[in-house]
C-alpha cells in the first residue's frame, strides 16, 4: 500500500472558518499543496521500517547512500528509483563532517551546503521533487527574514519548470543575507521591499488569495511542507551508521525553533533507529520545555529575540506533528483540542531553555577547551546536551547538531572567542558576484504588477 498523507486537523470540530480535511492524498499532492485545506499539516499514514542491517551497511559510505535508503522507503511508489538516485546525487554534493569533541561525544556539522545552513539539506531535495512532480510551470513566492529565503532560492536555482520570487525586508536582513538573496539570479529573483518582514508576508498572502493571479500556479514551498521533513530524517541515520556499534543506543541534541529538524529525528526513531532520547534545546522561547514540565501550552507572542535568531519561534509550526504522533491535536493558533500522551513524550524527548548568556559561554568554553568553533544555534545544542548529561549521568554515544556555519555569526564569535571565523568557499564566492535585486515599495499593486509582467503562466 502506498503511503498517503492526512491532515493534523482531521479530528477538530467543524466551524464556520475551518472544515476538517478528512481525506488522504498522495505524496505528490501533499508536496504541491504544502498545507492541508483546513490549515493542518500533512502526516504520512504509515511509517516505513528500517532494516537494521541495511543501516549498519551504510558505515563508511558517502552520505548519498543513506539518502537513497530513506528516500526509497518513503517515495518508491511515486518516483522511480533512478529518478530518486539522481535527485540525491544532485542534492548532496557536499560533505557532512562529524567532529569528535571528547570520548564519543560528537558534533555533526550540517553547514556544508551552498548557503551554509542546515536548511540546504531539506530545500535542495524538496526543490528537485517539485521539479519532477509538477505537471505545469510553478511560480514560487517566498517571504523571508533571511536564511530560509536563500536556502530555498539556491535550492531551486536552474531547476526546470519553476520560477522563484523572494521578498525580503531591505532594512531587516544582514548585508551577507542580502548579497546571498540578490545574487542567485536566472530563475530566482529577489525583491528588496521597503518595509518589514510582516509586510512581505502580507503581500505574499494577498497574492495567494488574489483570483486574478489564479492562472499563475502560485506555490509557497514553505517550511511546513512534508517534503522538507523526509530529507531531515537522513542525517540521523547517517550519523548512527557511522558512529554506533551494532545495536547500541544514541542521543541526539537538536537546536530547535519550528521543530522540523527534531521531527526528522522523531521519525528516524519511529522507523526503528535506536535513539535513546531526542534532546530539543530551545533559546529563550521556552514554551515547549514549559509544556513538557507542566502539561500547559502557552504560545509566546511576540517571540523573544535571542542570539540564535533562526530559533526565535514562540509557537513552533511542527509542534502539531509532534502532538499528532503522540495522540494529541493542536491547531495553528496553539489551541489544544486534545492533549497528547505527555508521559510518553517525557520518556522520548527532553527540552531545556538555554539563555543567550549560556550560549555565549558555551561558544567560549568549547573553543578554549577543545579548539572547536560553534555558532549560537550549535552552541544551544551542545549546552542542551551538557545539561542533559548532568541530569541523567553519562551516556556513551551522543551527537549534537551544528546547524549553521560560524562565519555567518562573526559578531557573536568575536565576542565569545575574540577571533573572526574563516568563511567557507560558498560565502567567499559571494563577494565576486553582482546582485540584481528589484526594489519595490510595500504596495500590493506594485508587487502584483511585477508578477504579471514577469511570471510565466
Provide the grid cell at 332.
Answer: 495553528
Q: Give the residue among 295, 301, 377, 289 at the shortest CA–CA distance from 332.
A: 301
Nearer to ligand PLP, 128 or 405 (CB): 405
Q: How far is the CB of 166 from ligand PLP (least distance, A)?
A: 16
Residue with cell 536563500: 150
Write down the least CB distance from residue 394 to ligand PLP, Å: 26
CB 111, min distance to ligand PLP, A: 8
Beta carbon of residue 259, minimum distance to ligand PLP (angstroms, whole number) = 5
255 vs 328, beta carbon nearer ligand PLP? 255
In the complex, least distance from residue 63 CB atom to ligand PLP, rounded to whole angstroms = 19
Minimum Å gap between C-beta 146 and ligand PLP is 9
**In this complex, which beta carbon is closest to ligand PLP, that of residue 40 or of residue 231?**
231
Nearer to ligand PLP, 118 or 240 (CB): 118
Q: Which is nearer to ligand PLP, 260 or 340 (CB)?
A: 260
Residue 148 phi/psi, 5-degree rounding, is -60, -40
- H-type alpha helices, 134-230: 147-156, 175-182, 197-209
Which residues is 181 bridged to in the sheet?
Answer: none
Chain center to CA of 115: 13
Instruction: Compare residues 140 and 151 and give the one whose CB is closer to ligand PLP.
Output: 151
Which CB sits closer to ligand PLP, 91 or 223? 223
Rule CB under 6 A: which residues touch ligand PLP?
117-119, 147, 255-262, 310-311, 377, 403-404
When the beta carbons of 244 and 316 are compared against ligand PLP, the nearer one is 316
Whole-number Å distance between alpha carbons of 372 and 164 = 37
Taking residue 454's Cβ as centre, other Cβ atoms within 10 Å add up to 12
The residue whose grid cell reads 509582467 is 453
Residue in the structure block whose three cell numbers are 535527485: 87
Residue 200: which H helix or E strand, with range?
A: helix 197-209
* Minimum gap (Å) between residue 200 Cβ and ligand PLP: 18
Q: Which secondary-structure segment (H or E) carries 337?
A: strand 336-338
**Cell numbers for 285:** 522561547
Q: What order of strands is seen across the sheet that includes strand 250-253?
A: 98-102, 105-109, 398-402, 250-253, 275-279, 349-350
Give min distance, CB of 313 to ligand PLP, in A. Answer: 7
Q: Which of 297, 302, 303, 304 is nearest to 323 (CA)?
A: 297
DSSP 8-state class, residue 173:
S
CA dihedral for 343, 396, 352, 259, sign (positive or negative): negative
Amino acid at each position: 500500500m502506498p503511503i498517503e498523507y492526512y491532515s493534523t486537523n482531521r479530528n477538530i470540530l467543524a466551524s464556520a472558518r475551518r472544515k476538517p480535511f478528512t481525506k488522504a492524498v498522495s505524496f505528490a499532492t501533499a508536496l504541491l499543496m504544502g498545507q492541508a485545506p483546513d490549515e493542518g499539516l500533512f502526516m504520512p499514514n504509515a511509517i516505513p521500517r528500517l532494516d537494521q542491517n541495511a543501516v549498519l551497511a551504510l558505515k563508511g559510505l558517502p552520505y548519498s547512500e543513506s539518502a537513497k535508503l530513506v528516500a526509497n522507503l518513503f517515495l518508491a511508489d511515486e518516483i522511480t528509483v533512478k529518478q530518486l538516485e539522481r535527485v540525491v546525487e544532485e542534492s548532496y554534493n557536499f560533505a557532512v563532517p562529524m567532529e569528535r569533541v571528547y570520548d564519543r561525544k560528537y558534533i555533526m556539522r550540517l553547514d556544508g551546503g551552498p548557503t551554509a545552513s542546515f536548511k540546504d539539506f531539506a530545500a535542495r531535495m524538496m526543490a528537485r521533487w517539485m521539479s519532477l512532480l509538477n505537471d505545469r510551470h510553478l511560480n514560487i513566492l517566498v517571504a523571508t527574514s533571511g536564511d530560509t529565503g536563500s536556502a530555498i532560492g539556491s535550492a531551486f536555482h536552474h531547476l526546470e519548470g519553476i520560477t522563484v520570487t523572494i521578498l525580503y525586508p531591505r532594512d531587516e536582513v544582514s548585508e551577507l543575507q542580502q548579497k546571498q538573496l540578490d545574487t542567485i539570479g536566472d530563475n530566482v529573483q529577489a525583491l528588496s521591499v521597503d518595509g518589514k518582514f510582516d509586510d512581505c508576508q502580507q503581500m505574499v498572502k494577498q497574492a495567494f488569495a488574489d483570483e486574478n493571479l489564479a492562472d499563475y500556479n502560485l506555490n509557497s514551498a514553505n517550511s511546513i511542507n512534508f517534503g522538507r521533513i523526509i530529507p531531515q530524517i537522513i542525517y540521523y541515520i547517517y550519523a548512527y551508521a557511522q558512529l554506533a556499534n551494532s545495536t547500541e543506543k544514541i542521543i541526539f541534541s537538536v537546536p530547535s525553533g519550528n521543530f522540523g529538524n527534531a521531527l526528522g529525528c522523531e521519525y528516524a526513531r519511529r522507523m526503528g533507529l535506536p535513539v535513546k532520547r531526542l534532546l530539543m534545546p530551545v533559546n529563550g522561547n521556552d514554551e515547549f520545555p514549559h509544556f513538557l514540565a507542566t502539561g500547559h501550552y502557552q504560545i509566546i507572542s511576540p517571540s523573544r529575540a535571542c542570539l540564535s535568531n533562526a530559533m526565535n519561534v514562540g509557537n513552533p509550526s511542527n509542534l502539531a506533528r509532534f502532538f499528532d504522533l503522540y495522540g494529541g491535536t493542536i491547531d495553528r493558533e496553539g489551541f489544544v483540542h486534545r492533549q497528547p500522551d505527555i508521559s510518553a513524550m517525557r520518556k522520548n524527548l527532553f527540552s531545556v531553555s538555554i539563555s543567550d548568556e549560556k550560549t555565549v559561554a558555551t561558544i567560549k568554553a568549547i573553543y578554549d577547551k577543545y579548539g572547536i568553533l560553534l555558532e549560537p544555534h550549535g552552541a544551544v545544542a551542545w549546552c542542551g546536551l551538557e545539561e542533559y548529561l548532568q541530569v541523567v549521568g553519562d551516556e556513551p554515544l551522543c551527537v549534537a547538531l551544528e546547524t549553521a556555519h560560524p562565519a555567518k555569526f562573526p559578531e557573536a564569535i568575536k565576542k565569545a572567542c575574540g577571533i573572526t571565523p574563516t568563511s567557507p568557499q560558498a560565502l567567499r564566492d559571494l563577494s565576486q558576484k553582482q546582485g540584481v535585486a528589484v526594489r519595490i515599495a510595500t504596495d500590493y499593486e506594485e508587487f502584483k504588477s511585477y508578477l504579471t509582467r514577469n511570471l510565466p503562466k
